[in-house]
Structure 1
């Protein structure tokens, strides 16, 4: 829905089909369907869906849809296994001050400039490791851009990327020195500091 928020089929959910799909997953994972279904309905309400008289769910609010969905997406994306593995890694090495500093900095990487159509644009960033995707949100135009970094069918632990560092100086406007990187020989990012670039690289790798 985040990618195709204007498409009507992503704005309506059949309750019976939703329940059947969840039940199938719960049987595979030996989970309680009633508990999961209750959580799912609560989440739908949080996303902005409403249940109508036909007992199905609809998202009919077209005003400021993307900003709200983006906030929900950022919250849910951190429930991926990759994030839990990283938090576990941090806890194991929390006594090391350098590792603690790296953890705190990586958590702060939420935005960067990306070169698009020969212009640098500011985007908020979310890392979807399960689908090997970097999601970019243009806060000014409320638009989503998706960077498919790898094969989404592979394990999220196989997030193979190529990263090259370089520096850039804006001599025409701000005379600012930028810390930049190129991801997979294609996408160019820039940040205000070398530390932010390192953290961005860690998130991409």
Structure 2
């Protein structure tokens, strides 16, 4: 089975994917961003745009996920924002046409909730320490620029199943996805402090500077 976890940038996709992978034996995370940023770096700076607009990226994602689903004995988890219906069909729709069991979930939240999460992830805590707890996010932040568009598009019916996460923790969101997909996760143990440390580690590993 493939679990595609969609949502706005800063909406909790990566944290939820890692929480599921940690508690679902045999599962793996396949992050299409790795291929996307690799293709983007191949281009000269003046040609670097949204890597999702590259047909080679979309085709490559399908090919790699098809191979993984066919050869790997376990579930596959994909944390990736996709808001273009055509791109959605070219990847998720195509994988379903190839016979794979693809479960799609869009993590949604109010705008202010996502903005708060963007401030908190990665280097956000350091920025707040330097600039104050009410320090605004940089207006040029690509994630913030895309936020309203993402929230609007992902509410559309073709992007169901919709999961609202404003009042849900990452472990609880993972539990909800597992139930809807008919999967059984191992119990979430370790306490709140260990959970926060684990999530901070995931966040630091996914900081990007380009």
TM-score normalised according to structure 1 size: 0.22
More strand per residue:
1
TM-score normalised according to structure 2 size: 0.21
More helix per residue:
2
Where relative contact order (Cα < 8 A, 6+ residues apart) is larger, the structure is 2
Q: Which has the larger radius of gyration?
A: 1
